[in-house]
């Protein structure tokens, strides 16, 4: 029947095209003129279009009433479901801190006469950083040296007299005590004057100059901040719900947004207390400076594992479809036919979602070609290959 209809329509078209003079119900065209030919072509085009529409309508009707007129099979890609381990992750703000930070300071107060470093300079432990003006002490030392010279002369004379049993023992002892007292004072002054030099307490980089040359420094007050950048650490405050999943030695992903650098680190320390103010505990990851790129106070993002659930059925989130009623469903391939299955979902992450009911291990879920698919459609199924994992 289908072939008969098509043959009849084609016969009509051929008959119309073979007439030397185009005719219609209302008009005859002169096929020897340009205008007549154009008008005839326009009319025939319209007639062919109408006939093609009628042909499509008749063909669709035939498909509905003729069981032998089957629809073409829909090509899809399927994935066989297996029990897998579901993992979810969370990203937490972190901060880079220096593991070793020292202050170069003077033990005595005074004006800085010299400052031998600037911010960014690398210094070795024991290197001279600055000197403090102790002119007052130096003048006092000169006076003491003069007094010591006199005290030594008096002492030597009293000693010679005492050795000859001349004079009193008291005079001899007073001269000796005066000399020794001045000598001890000079040692104290030497010790104080030695403190005018400020040395680096550790090796590292001068991170900040606190007291500039010519300014006054107080005893014990820092003059320069020294940072050891060879060993840094990344600190993050983690919500207490991660206590069971975050352990020392666990691997985490660390991303530095300002540098667009991503790396993997191990948790080196886990805090032993929960901060009652924000219900978090602290974790630390050791890191190098990566050639000076990583600096203290640099912001970082740490991705930690929130939970891990083994032996579950999970599918990509984008495979879920929703009916008007709000029920979730997916398409699976059974014996070459698309079958709609309602599912109940559970926990999800950015990529996958757990299916608590509706699917079982071994189901062949349609991964590619499910959108717009009709329930019961015949399929041509191919195995889906996950390019990211390099396997099925």
DSSP string, 11-27: HHHHHHHH-SS-B-SS-
Q: What is the C-alpha to C-alpha distance for residues 331 and 376, in angstroms, rounded to an integer?
A: 10
The DSSP bridge partners found for residue 84 are 312
Provide the 8-state DSSP code for 150. Answer: H
Quote the pLDDT of residue 92.
92
Q: What is the C-alpha to C-alpha distance for residues 250 and 324, in angstroms, rounded to an integer?
A: 44
Mean pLDDT on 157-174: 75
pLDDT higher for 70 or 370? Answer: 370
Torsion 32-33-35-37 (CA) sign: positive
Share of residues in the chain with pLDDT > 90 (%) = 26
Indicate the pLDDT class of residue 69, thresholds 50, 70 and 90.
Answer: low
Provide the 8-state DSSP code for 314. Answer: E
Indicate the pLDDT class of residue 72, thresholds 50, 70 and 90.
Answer: confident
- Longest C-alpha distance within the chain, in Å? 167
Q: Which of 75, 76, 73, 82 lies closest to 384, judged by CA?
A: 76
User: Does the pLDDT value for residue 299 go beyond 70?
Assistant: yes
User: Does the pLDDT value for residue 26 go beyond 60?
Assistant: no
Give 328-379 pLDDT, tens digit per residue. Answer: 999 999 998 999 999 999 988 888 999 999 999 999 999 998 888 888 888 8
Indicate the pLDDT class of residue 10, thresholds 50, 70 and 90.
Answer: very low
Share of residues in the chain with pLDDT > 70 (%) = 82
Give 172-218 pLDDT, tens digit per residue. Answer: 787 787 777 877 776 776 666 667 788 888 888 888 888 888 888 88
Rounded to 5 degrees, what are φ and ψ at 16?
A: -70, -35
Provide the 8-state DSSP code for 386. Answer: B
Q: Which of 220, 226, 183 lies closest to 201, judged by CA?
A: 226
Cβ within 8 Å of residue 66, ≥6 positions away:
1, 2
Cα distances from 357 to residues 107, 312, 323, in angstroms, run: 74, 11, 17
Q: What is the C-alpha to C-alpha distance for residues 306 and 204, in angstroms, rounded to an integer?
A: 38
Cβ burial, residue 386 (10 Å; 0-12/13-18/19+): exposed
Indicate the pLDDT class of residue 263, thresholds 50, 70 and 90.
Answer: very high
User: Does the pLDDT value for residue 240 go beyond 50?
Assistant: yes
Per-residue burial over 51-61, b if 16 or more Cβ lie within 10 Å, else e, is: eeeeeeeeeee
Query: Are the beta carbons of 366 and 333 closer than 8 angstroms?
Result: yes
Cβ burial, residue 289 (10 Å; 0-12/13-18/19+): middle
Q: What is the C-alpha to C-alpha distance for residues 87 and 251, in angstroms, rounded to an integer?
A: 14
pLDDT higher for 46 or 14? Answer: 46
Q: What is the C-alpha to C-alpha distance for residues 302 and 265, in angstroms, rounded to an integer?
A: 9
CA 319 to chain centre: 28
User: Does the pLDDT value for residue 244 go beyond 90?
Assistant: no
Quote the pLDDT of residue 83.
92
The DSSP bridge partners found for residue 389 are none
Q: Strand 352-357 vs strand 337-348: parallel, antiparallel, or unpaired?
A: antiparallel
Q: Which of 318, 326, 327 lies closest to 348, judged by CA?
A: 318
Q: What is the C-alpha to C-alpha distance for residues 269 and 253, in angstroms, rounded to an integer?
A: 16
Q: What is the mean pLDDT of the chain?
A: 80
Query: Are the beta carbons of 246 and 270 closer than 8 angstroms?
Result: yes
Torsion 218-219-222-224 (CA) sign: positive
pTM of the model as a whole: 0.50
Q: Poorest-confidence range of 49-63, 117-131, 340-354?
A: 49-63
The DSSP bridge partners found for residue 303 are 91, 253
Q: Which of 347, 260, 253, 350 lies closest to 305, judged by CA?
A: 253
Cβ burial, residue 114 (10 Å; 0-12/13-18/19+): middle
**How many CA atoms are closer than 13 Å to the CA of 151, on its beta-carbon side?**
19
Quote the pLDDT of residue 138.
61
Q: Poorest-confidence range of 13-17, 103-107, 213-217, 353-357?
A: 13-17
């Amino acid at each position: 029947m289908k072939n008969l209809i098509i043959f009849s329509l084609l016969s009509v078209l051929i008959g119309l095209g073979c007439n030397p003079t185009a005719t219609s119900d209302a008009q005859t065209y002169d096929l020897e003129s340009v205008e007549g030919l154009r008008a005839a072509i326009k009319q025939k085009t319209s007639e062919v279009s109408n006939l093609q529409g009628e042909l499509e309508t008749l063909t669709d009707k035939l498909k509905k009433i003729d069981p032998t007129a089957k629809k073409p099979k829909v090509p899809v890609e399927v994935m066989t479901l297996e029990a897998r381990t579901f993992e979810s992750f969370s990203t937490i703000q972190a901060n880079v801190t220096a593991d070793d930070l020292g202050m170069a300071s003077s033990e005595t107060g005074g004006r800085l006469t010299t400052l031998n470093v600037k911010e960014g300079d690398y210094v070795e432990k024991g290197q001279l950083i600055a000197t403090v003006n102790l002119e007052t002490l130096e003048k006092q030392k000169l006076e003491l040296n003069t007094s010591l010279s006199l005290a030594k002369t008096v002492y030597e004379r009293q000693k010679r007299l005492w050795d000859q049993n001349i004079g009193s023992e008291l005079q001899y002892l007073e001269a000796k005590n005066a000399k020794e007292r001045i000598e001890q004072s000079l040692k104290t002054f030497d010790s104080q004057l030695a403190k005018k030099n400020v040395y680096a307490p550790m090796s590292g980089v001068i991170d900040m100059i606190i007291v500039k040359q010519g300014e006054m420094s107080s005893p014990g007050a820092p003059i320069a901040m020294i940072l050891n950048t060879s060993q840094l650490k990344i600190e993050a405050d983690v919500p207490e719900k991660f206590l069971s999943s975050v352990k020392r030695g666990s691997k985490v992903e660390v991303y530095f947004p300002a540098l667009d650098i991503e790396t993997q680190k191990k948790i080196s320390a886990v805090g032993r207390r929960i901060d009652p103010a924000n219900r978090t505990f602290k974790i630390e990851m050791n890191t190098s400076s990566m050639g000076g790129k990583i600096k203290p106070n640099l912001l970082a993002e740490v991705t930690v594992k929130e939970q891990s659930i083994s032996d579950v059925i999970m599918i990509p989130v984008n495979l879920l479809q929703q009916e008007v009623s709000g029920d979730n469903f997916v398409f699976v391939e059974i014996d070459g036919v698309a079958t709609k299955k309602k599912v109940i979902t559970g926990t999800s992450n950015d990529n996958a979602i757990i299916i608590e009911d509706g699917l079982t291990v071994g189901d062949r879920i349609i991964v590619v070609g499910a959108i717009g698919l009709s329930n019961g459609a015949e399929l041509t199924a191919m195995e889906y290959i996950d390019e990211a994992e390099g396997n099925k």
